[in-house]
Structure 1
Amino acid sequence: MTEKPLSGISLFIGAIALALCTFMQVLDASIANVSIPYIAGDLAVSANIGTWVITMFAVGNAISLPLTGWATRRFGSIRVILASVFLFTVFSWACGFSFSIHMLVTCRFFQGFVAGPLIPLSLSLMMMSFSKEKKNLALALWNMVAVVGPIAGPIIGGWLTYDYSWPWIFFINIPVGIFCFLAIRSIYKGKETPIERIRLDKVGLFFLAFAVSALQILLDQGQQLDWWRSHLIWVLTIVSVVSFVFLFIWESYSKDPIFDLRLFKNWNFSLGTIITALSYMLIFGSLVIAPLWLEEMMGYTASLSGLAVSTMGIVPFCTVLFVAKLMSRFPLKYLAATSFLIFGLSLLYASTFTTAVTFTDVALSRLYFGIGIGVWLAPLTAISFAHIGKDHLAMASGMFHFFRIMMGGVGTSIFVTFWARRATHHHSHLVDTINPFNPNSKALFSDLKGYGLIGKRALEKVDSIAWNQAYMLSTNDLFWMAGWTFVIFMFASLFFKNYQEKRQLVAAE
């Protein structure tokens, strides 16, 4: 795009349309999470089979994200994002009208596949649309919708499912998609990016499809199948590892690669991709565990749990302008380090909770976590792409977000598995302390007897209390380890190199 940046009403509407493209994509990655029991019941399948609605969206999305660079060079950024928005809207409609689980899962795969380019292209087009002086504002705006979407997904999904019906979690995309398509088509008409006659790396695509499909299915189904005690998990692991190895070997020699591994010669891009992916793993894992703990162990309803954790979305939403000013005044690596410090402190604070924790304490811990989210992704994205030229921006953005989103899935599986297994560990230790010779045990059974609980009923109650405490301790363990890992990331982010043009995103020039 060689034309001048947008201005006035065109800039305003264009920025909203591009931001909504990102919001739709990240929202749909999590909006179905709380609706699975309703979808499964309505389509007469088990909840385990219903989870494929989530899995196949992630598989399709992971396959298409790295193809963004090739697609934009071959067809142009505007054509690709318009096609993505149009097809995403169509498949959202098809998902809502699905009459069987097979139809819904198939439509969700294609919905995820066509949504892949939305995140990298909305970011690159937004950066190209703003003047040099306002690029930090554009990045802060994009960061806000990118991090609020996963938080808002379960809340909006729960509301639509409970008050209306599950198809509305897909129908909600239709008016938004129509607006985005018409706005982008009108505002960016005649501003297409250059097109090249390049071939599709079919061998690379083959390895990519097998690698990410096997990995996503492994991550989503691993806990249910007891991980490597299942032959299927072993097969998926081997397929994923071998496919990734051959993919990276092939891409190292391909003339038109899906992954341009030469970009990793850029220190800031390499470090930024690694730190962002690993930190997103911890962030997304904590986003999954917090409501699980509140609903399953603390007795919160889905709406109350959503309200408690939703406080983390307030800060990013309200601090767009503030973050943009910070990025203009302070070195970006120090802002990134500050976000990791805030993450670490908020999780270490949460690791001190007991089963007597109040709603206010939980909401405050999530609010503190939200402060870190508000200043996390924008500085990291800016400094990671600082030395990436505009010709490689779409490719770099696709790779950057591919690894970020992939590690989000890894984080979910690690946190859920660790949470369950550490709880079992703590439960066994707690139960071992309950014996006739322990004065505390005698006092506990005496109290239970006063409530009419004796014999088997008393033992069942004690076991229930032990499990509740065990999951509390397991949650504390997770938050404690994640908190200290963020402190390590804080120091690692100080190794970013400064760049010549102070506090401006060179990649978008």
Structure 2
Amino acid sequence: MNGKAEAAQPLTGMRLLLAGAVLALTNFMVVLDTTIANVSVAHISGSLGISASQGTWIITSYAVAEAICVPLTGWLAGRFGAVRTFTFGMIGFGLFSFLCGISTSLGMLVACRIGQGLCGGPLMPLSQTLLMRIFKPEQRSQAMGVWAMTTVVAPILGPILGGTISDSWSWHWIFFINIPVAALCAFGATRLLRSAETPTEPLRVDRGGLVLMVIWIGALQLLLDLGREHDWFSDPFMVALALISAIGLVIFLVWEFTDDQPIVDIRVFRHRGFTVAVTSLSFAFAAFFASAVIIPQWLQTSLGYTSTYAGYATAFTGVGAVIMAPIVASLTNKVDPRALVCFGILWLGLTSLMRVGWTADADFWTLAMPQLAQGFGMPFFFIPLTTLALAAVEEGETASAAGVMSFLRTMAGAIGTSVSATMWSDNAVVARSEIVSRLNTDETVAAMSAQGWSLDQIRGVVAQQVEQQALALATNHVFLISAFVFAGAAMIIWLTPRPARVVDTSAAH
């Protein structure tokens, strides 16, 4: 197998086009699944009889599992071969998609989403690796451009597709549609990519680091997801989870720093530029991803939007990103990347402030325009920030640094979702009590009674208004906090030095 892999040559003709399509379609499907469930949470919550905050576990469980598995990609490819790992990952992704679709409880669905994330985590970086192997050197930049477009377009179509499927059929089909795609891509990989297999060797896996990572991340995510329902640290179980997470993180960091082949190479944090860049990335991405989860829930639970129209409203983010991505890519080597990143993150903060004035009677375009504006700033944030981070490390550390970036970005999105969902729910409770004290008065009852309303009708109208306005105020509060987070993330980027070398950003996944 090894000799075969070492003699592998770039593909040509129709075989190359089909293989490239398989890899691009795989990446599209994996990225799509990060957003397709966002607008379906209301449907899933209603079907399974759970709260909206519990529904976010469906999103965070996938993201956390994916984050855990991404650092294992290099070891899996080196131990079993990139094509073989890719094929089995695709088969597993399809199988867990089927199990997600037939889930009848929250526990089953979350467990299957974890399986999806574990199988899907390596697929994105492996699709990049295999693209670089099957295309000739002079064709690789164009191939990576097409691959990058699938990464940008998938989040646009995710909310629209998820909403349309949930409204027209049922939420189960947002998972079932993965099955034929996974089968097609797995079959295509075995038929078309066999000659692109990578060399294998009996590599040692950092079992201790892997176990520690699963323990502290799992404890942290359980704490974030269950904390509100258990009144946080008044519950001994929540205290235990916090201690396990904190102690586990410390032991994990010490273990990884001293291990010869760490699962997460934390030595890259010795470079100030990398540390500052990924810190900025983590905070900004947490605030960005949280909005992608909160907005669809608010539109459906409070404003009466269907999943389809919630998808239309949120998908506008991707339109601006598609337009600006090539422009920003050309500017990265001409303008100080720190200035581009600072502008991009501040722009995201500005779009958060645009949402602070949202009310319960906001029309479609009032909701959609900040999404469109946000999209124009996203490439200024993502593309130059990748350049800044990877240029700060040594050339031999680029792959490790890219893996750490992907891990932290995904974890930041999951944590940001959990924190914002809790904040949103808690603020709604506070706002609800304040509004009730002002609206539910004798004067209100007398005024509405004079217009012919019965007491039961008055109570119903008041309750509906209180709920709508409370959620609107809670949403505004979340975006106000997000604006401050964006501002802080934008300012700290100036602590990183300007890149001293040009990097191949295709290493970032």
TM class by shorter chain equals: 0.7 to 0.9
Worse-superposed segment, 2-11 or 182-191: 2-11
Aligned ranges for residues 98-497 of structure 1 at < 5 Å?
106-126=111-131, 142-146=147-151, 148-150=153-155, 152-184=157-189, 188-193=193-198, 195-388=200-393, 392-433=397-438, 442=443, 444-445=444-445, 447-453=447-453, 455=455, 457-458=457-458, 461-497=461-497
User: Cα–Cα, structure 1 residues 316 and 140, in superposed 2: closer, same or farther, change >3 Å?
Assistant: farther
The TM-score normalised by the length of structure 2 is: 0.84
The answer (yes or no) to whether the contact 1:61–1:112 under 8 Å persists in 2 is: yes
The answer (yes or no) to whether the contact 1:263–1:396 under 8 Å persists in 2 is: yes
The whole-number CA distance in structure 2 between the counterparts of 1:425 and 1:50 is 21
Quote how far apart the aligned CAs of 1:106 are. 4.5
Quote how far apart the aligned CAs of 1:54 are. 4.9
Please give the secondary structure, in 1, of the residue aligned with 2:117.
Answer: helix
Worse-superposed segment, 352-361 or 389-398: 389-398
Which 5+ residue runs of structure 2 have no aligned equivalent? Answer: none
Quote how far apart the aligned CAs of 1:25 are. 2.1
Letter in 2 for 1:425: V
Q: Alpha-carbon deviations, 1:229-261, whole Å to 9, x = none?
A: 444333322222222221111111111111111
User: Cα–Cα, structure 1 residues 37 and 188, in superposed 2: closer, same or farther, change >3 Å?
Assistant: same
User: Cα–Cα, structure 1 residues 101 and 420, in superposed 2: closer, same or farther, change >3 Å?
Assistant: closer
The whole-number CA distance in structure 1 between the counterparts of 2:72 and 2:62 is 16
Letter in 1 for 2:254: I
Letter in 2 for 1:492: I
The whole-number CA distance in structure 2 between the counterparts of 1:220 and 1:287 is 17
The answer (yes or no) to whether the contact 1:280–1:408 under 8 Å persists in 2 is: yes
Q: Alpha-carbon deviations, 1:155-197, whole Å to 9, x = none?
A: 3233223323444322322332244345555665444445454
Letter in 2 for 1:314: V
Letter in 2 for 1:254: D
The answer (yes or no) to whether the contact 1:219–1:413 under 8 Å persists in 2 is: yes
The whole-number CA distance in structure 1 between the counterparts of 2:183 and 2:395 is 29
User: Cα–Cα, structure 1 residues 472 and 170, in superposed 2: closer, same or farther, change >3 Å?
Assistant: closer
The whole-number CA distance in structure 1 between the counterparts of 2:460 and 2:13 is 67
Q: Alpha-carbon deviations, 1:195-222, whole Å to 9, x = none?
A: 4543111111111121222222333333
2:32 matched residue in structure 1: 27
Q: Determine whether 1:85 maps to 2:103.
A: no
Quote how far apart the aligned CAs of 1:139 are. 6.1
Q: Alpha-carbon deviations, 1:85-137, whole Å to 9, x = none?
A: 23323333444456787765554332221111123333455567778888776
Quote how far apart the aligned CAs of 1:308 are. 1.5
The whole-number CA distance in structure 1 between the counterparts of 2:106 and 2:379 is 38
Q: Determine whether 1:47 maps to 2:50.
A: yes
The whole-number CA distance in structure 2 between the counterparts of 1:478 and 1:445 is 32
Quote how far apart the aligned CAs of 1:316 are. 2.6
The whole-number CA distance in structure 1 between the counterparts of 2:491 and 2:355 is 22
User: Cα–Cα, structure 1 residues 300 and 473, in superposed 2: closer, same or farther, change >3 Å?
Assistant: same
The answer (yes or no) to whether the contact 1:143–1:377 under 8 Å persists in 2 is: no
Worse-superposed segment, 198-207 or 99-108: 99-108
Quote how far apart the aligned CAs of 1:450 are. 4.4
User: Cα–Cα, structure 1 residues 11 and 452, in superposed 2: closer, same or farther, change >3 Å?
Assistant: farther
Quote how far apart the aligned CAs of 1:359 are. 1.3
Aligned residue pair count: 501
Quote how far apart the aligned CAs of 1:401 are. 1.4
The TM-score normalised by the length of structure 1 is: 0.84
The answer (yes or no) to whether the contact 1:144–1:374 under 8 Å persists in 2 is: no
The answer (yes or no) to whether the contact 1:6–1:129 under 8 Å persists in 2 is: yes
Please give the secondary structure, in 2, of the residue aligned with 1:499.
Answer: coil
Worse-superposed segment, 129-138 or 174-183: 129-138
Please give the secondary structure, in 2, of the residue aligned with 1:29.
Answer: helix
Quote how far apart the aligned CAs of 1:281 are. 0.5
Q: Alpha-carbon deviations, 1:300-329, whole Å to 9, x = none?
A: 232222221221122234444444333354
Please give the secondary structure, in 1, of the residue aligned with 2:391.
Answer: coil
Please give the secondary structure, in 2, of the residue aligned with 1:243.
Answer: helix
2:65 matched residue in structure 1: 60
Worse-superposed segment, 477-486 or 388-397: 388-397
The whole-number CA distance in structure 2 between the counterparts of 1:453 and 1:94 is 50
Q: Alpha-carbon deviations, 1:239-286, whole Å to 9, x = none?
A: 222222211111111111111111112333322222212111101111
Q: Alpha-carbon deviations, 1:312-348, whole Å to 9, x = none?
A: 1222344444443333543433332222122112111
User: Cα–Cα, structure 1 residues 138 and 350, in superposed 2: closer, same or farther, change >3 Å?
Assistant: farther
Over the matched positions of the two proteins, sequence identity in percent amounts to 34
The whole-number CA distance in structure 2 between the counterparts of 1:312 and 1:156 is 15
User: Cα–Cα, structure 1 residues 501 and 59, in superposed 2: closer, same or farther, change >3 Å?
Assistant: closer
Q: Determine whether 1:71 maps to 2:76.
A: yes
Quote how far apart the aligned CAs of 1:77 are. 3.5
The whole-number CA distance in structure 2 between the counterparts of 1:144 and 1:24 is 13
Which 5+ residue runs of structure 1 have no aligned equivalent? Answer: none
The answer (yes or no) to whether the contact 1:68–1:394 under 8 Å persists in 2 is: no
The whole-number CA distance in structure 2 between the counterparts of 1:7 and 1:337 is 42
The whole-number CA distance in structure 2 between the counterparts of 1:129 and 1:383 is 28
